[in-house]
Chain A
Amino acid sequence: MGWDLLLVLTVPLAVSVVCWWAPVALGRALTLGSGLLTFVLAAVLVPAKTTTALSGWLRADALSVVFLVAVTFLYAVTAIFTIGYMQPAGDARTTATYSRRLLAGLNLFAWAMAMTPLVNGLALLWVAIEVTTVISALLVAIDDTDRATEAAWKYVLIASMGLGIALLGTIIMYYAGASVFGSAYELFYPKLLGAAGHFPPQVVRLSFVLAVLGYGTKMGLVPVHTWLPDAHSEAPTPVSALLSGALLAVSFYAILRFYEVTERAIGPEFPRNVLLAFGVASILLAALYLASQRDLKRLLAYSSVEHMGVLAIGMSISSPIAVVGVLLHVLAHAAAKGTAFFGAGSVVRKFGTKDMTRIRGGIGALPWTGPMLVLAVLALSGMPPFGVFRSEFLIVSGGLADPRGAVAAVLVVGVTLGMLGLSWFTTRTMLTPSPDHPPRGETSNWIVCSMVIGLVALAVLGVHPPGQLSDLLTRAADELGAKI
């Protein structure tokens, strides 16, 4: 199965290089092919046991595969959306250059994000995440406006500083391991996990806090989230979707890898408390910002902060069912946020603005993507029958079984407040009838197609997740120390 991992890592990279030079039509087709192929390759890994390649430098266990599936799914649907996104009229020459750059960047970005869960070891994990930062910063700036430049600068600076802290955390974890392995060794996961019980507790604690602070900056945890709304709102829509649904998730994956080691070294109590503090701050602050947003894409960005808070709180709950819920939430959030951003992209293109006070009668103007955007937002708010409902339900029911029942209460209050802001603004822009909305009609069938796939996936995750996927989530939760 090692060839599988190698293909996942070579195809998007090769396609990215080709897209830089090839005609746009070929680039779009190749991007679509690459997205679908990597998703199929990730799906093949779902039932497999741990797979390794390149003499152990690449490794996919159940936890990796969960995140790989999230990334590749979003990569595939974003590839479909991007075909529709690139069909505007305009100056052919600039459009072609812009499109080639965007396609090359998207593939490279997806490649870096797919690499993150597949590399074996905390050090290479850091390298992969830093690569995602620099690529995505350029993608945020690609529209070349004042606002995009500002967002990209803030993003690359704040995220890099955060990753500097994460690097310090990684080095300190290396020091913790050196007490067992001697001064020169590789930071491979199985090795670290096997010996974690003998690591010096205080050093592991320091390392974990630094890692959460550092990778939490990339993940968008409050109070180190400040780059996130800017970058998500100013990036081109396909990039926003990948940033929100996949990049935040792989940053969370990095925290989970540290959690694994820490949990085995000093027990789960300390890492849970750290995540709880960040999670509660994120969910409450995001709920407040959601209630006062006027920019459609910023609204979705703050919803991401809220959902990252849900993930952090979910990990702080001792019940194993909550950990399964957290992993399902990663997948459901990727599908829901991707679909919502695609819908927002369609609305922004139709109305020519992101300002929600100036968008009225969305459903009248967009017969397909309009209602689907409303559905995606309802899914994000945790409404059944979608995947987010199931995952949040699992987390809350785990929380009720937890001795600290108040955690579940905070979670429910936060999610409800977030839902109020999110659905109030979206339904007002979409459902309020308006006589002077733009002419009725979709901008592209490809956009409709990408949203349909996203919603179907969400419904499948919510109503009846495939047996092998449930099995994968259980195995991944088991790796995180939550035995069911």
Chain B
Amino acid sequence: MTLLGVVPSTFSGGAEALALVVLLTEFAMLRAPLSRSQIRLYAFQSLAVSSLAVFVAATQHIDDLYVLAGLSFVLKVVLVPGIVLRLLGDSPVDLAGSNRFGVATMVLFAIGISVFGFFVVGSLPVHSHSLPAPALGLAMAVILVAFLLVILRADVVSQAVGFFSLENGVSVASLVVAAGLPLIVEVAFLFDLLVAVVVFGVLMRVHHGRAKTLSTETLDRLRG
């Protein structure tokens, strides 16, 4: 086999690198000790997703995607992190130590589940025109690690960020398999996300106001 057969093209190499950045940011969120750094990581991850959208728009000549990338930049890189950081503004302590396991154990779990997701999706008969197929496996890994983030971190900010980043994972998946999704539908998705973020924010504030902490340790009264 010649070297050219192994080296990816600029297109697939660039796309896969961006998708990988999204996944690595998810790992960083999982282990980030401070709530504020988690939110900044979310903004960075959203930036990577928006860049991926621009990348697909440029290489596949889908003009709608430029609009979508712009909207998702405004919403997910600027507005959502801004809203959440503002809501956190009056909670004096940054949260540390909400982990249910040690950082190393959590990352090992995450690696295991990412590998699982990546290979399971790899075995599906999915052929994409817009992005190389491994990007779908990476998107699946992002989604699964987002679930871990919600499960393994016991504070409301991690859990909310877990949901937001799950949506980022689904966005990457949609760039791979549904790049032509009508703009109006994508805009509706984004609007929905904005509403959900506001409601998450309101409930986070209410929880913080009542429990005086961002931790979810006290949320165990309802059982049975």
Q: Which chain A residues have a beta carbon within 8 Å of chain B's beta carbons?
A: 121, 123-124, 126-127, 130-131, 133-134, 137-138, 141, 144, 146-147, 149-154, 156-157, 160-161, 164-165, 167-168, 171-172, 174-175, 178, 182-187, 200, 202-203, 206, 229-230, 233-234, 289, 292-293, 295, 298
Contacts and interface: CB of A to CB of B under 8 A. Distances in A.
Contact of A167 (B170, B210, B218): B170
B45 to A, nearest CB: 15
B207 A149 contact: yes
A40 B154 CA distance: 47
Interface string B42-66: 0000000000000000000010000
Given A164-B143, A171-B181, A156 B200 contact: yes
Interface stretch (B25-33, B78-86, B97-105, B124-132): B124-132
A230 B222 contact: yes
A149 B222 CA distance: 11
B125 A164 contact: no
21 contacts: A123-B182, A123-B188, A127-B185, A141-B206, A149-B206, A156-B200, A157-B150, A160-B200, A161-B162, A161-B166, A165-B143, A167-B170, A168-B143, A168-B173, A172-B177, A174-B181, A175-B177, A183-B180, A186-B185, A203-B124, A234-B222
Q: Which 7 A-B pairs have the closest CB atoms?
A: A183-B180, A184-B180, A175-B177, A134-B199, A123-B185, A230-B222, A174-B178
Counting chain A CB atoms within 10 Å of each CB, which of B62, B130, B180, B181 scores highest?
A: B181
A152 B203 contact: yes
B219 A153 contact: yes
B139 to A, nearest CB: 9
The B interface, classified by DSSP as helix, strand, loop or mixed, is: helix
A183 B129 contact: yes
B203 A156 contact: yes
Contacts of B156: 153
Given A167-B170, A171-B174, A202-B124, A150 B185 contact: no
A171 B200 CA distance: 24
Contact of B219 (A141, A150, A298): A150
A165 B206 CA distance: 27
A229 B223 CA distance: 9
Contacts of B173: 168, 171-172
Interface of B: 62, 124-126, 129-130, 143, 146-147, 150, 156, 159-160, 162-163, 166-167, 170, 173-174, 177-182, 185, 188-189, 191-192, 195-196, 198-200, 202-203, 206-207, 210-211, 216, 218-219, 221-222, 224
B222 A147 contact: yes
A138 B199 contact: yes
A281 B40 CA distance: 41
Contacts of B130: 183
Nearest to A130: B192
Contacts of B167: 164, 167
B150 A151 contact: no
- Which of A131, A150, A165 counts the most chain B CB atoms within 10 A? A150
Contacts of B143: 164-165, 168
B210 A149 contact: yes
A81 to B, nearest CB: 24
A137 B199 contact: yes
B181 A298 contact: no
B170 A183 contact: no
B203 A186 contact: no
Contacts of A147: 221-222
B125 A203 contact: yes
